[in-house]
Amino acid sequence: MYATGFALLLIALVLFVLGRMAGVRVRQLQRSQEVRSEFYRSAMILVEDERTPEAYVGLLGSLSRALVDKRLSWIALWHLVSGKRNLAPRERDLTFLHPLPADLRKVWDHITGCFVLAVTFNNFLIGAIVRRLFLWLANGRNDEGDSRRATAVVQDLVTLRSA
């Protein structure tokens, strides 16, 4: 009798946890849709502006296709945890090769942030860890080097998709 009661309690606990996880995932998917919509809205600003170099338009097409790539969450986690970074990002840094006007640069920075945030929503657990690490590093709770590392990871992900 005690074994049956314990088994039922365990089943109820498992169902409760699964229900909570499903609720969290539904909220993640809703937030993901909001971030992707913001990505596309900002991308249209760059695409429609005649001052935007063609390299950005091509990269935006590549980034829009990569929004659903689950591997990028793992790559971001590896870069954040290991501190490893591409050795020569300036060679592929689009903003270095093709400078943008200040107003379009703000839109581009917003797009890259939306891209990385949208990528983190592609994986339930790893994405949550990456978002927490980005927030922890970007909030300045650690030294300035870690904040620069979070920025470097964002740049690496964007340049990785452009390569």
Pick the more confident residue, 145 or 66: 66
Question: Which of 113 and 85 is assigned the larger pLDDT?
Answer: 113
Task: Answer whether 0.85 is exceeded by the pTM.
Answer: no
For residues 139 and 80, the model is more confident at 80
* Separation between Cα atoms, residue 147 and residue 137, nearest integer Å: 5
Q: According to the model, what pLDDT value does residue 101 have? A: 86
Three-state secondary structure along the chain? Answer: CHHHHHHHHHHHHHHHHHHHHHHHHHHHHHHHHHHHHHHHHHHHHHHHCCCCCHHHHHHHHHHHHHCCCCHHHHHHHHHHHHCCCCCCHHHCCHHHHCCCCHHHHHHHHHHHHHHHHHHHCCCHHHHHHHHHHHHHHHCCCCCHHHHHHHHHHHHHHHHHHHC
Which carries the bigger pLDDT value, residue 80 or residue 145? Answer: 80
pLDDT tier, 20 (very low <50, low <70, confident <90, very high otherwise):
very high
Question: How much is the pLDDT for 145?
Answer: 46
**Banded model confidence at residue 90, pLDDT cuts 50, 70, 90:** very low
Residue 16 has a pLDDT of: 95
Instruction: Provide CB contacts within 8 A for 42, sequence distance 6+.
Output: 107, 110, 111, 114
| Mean pLDDT confidence for 140-162 | 52
> What local confidence, expressed as pLDDT, does residue 41 receive?
93
Quote the pLDDT of residue 159: 52
Least confident of 5-19, 119-133, 147-161: 147-161
Q: How far is the C-alpha of 46 from the C-alpha of 58, rounded, in Å?
A: 11
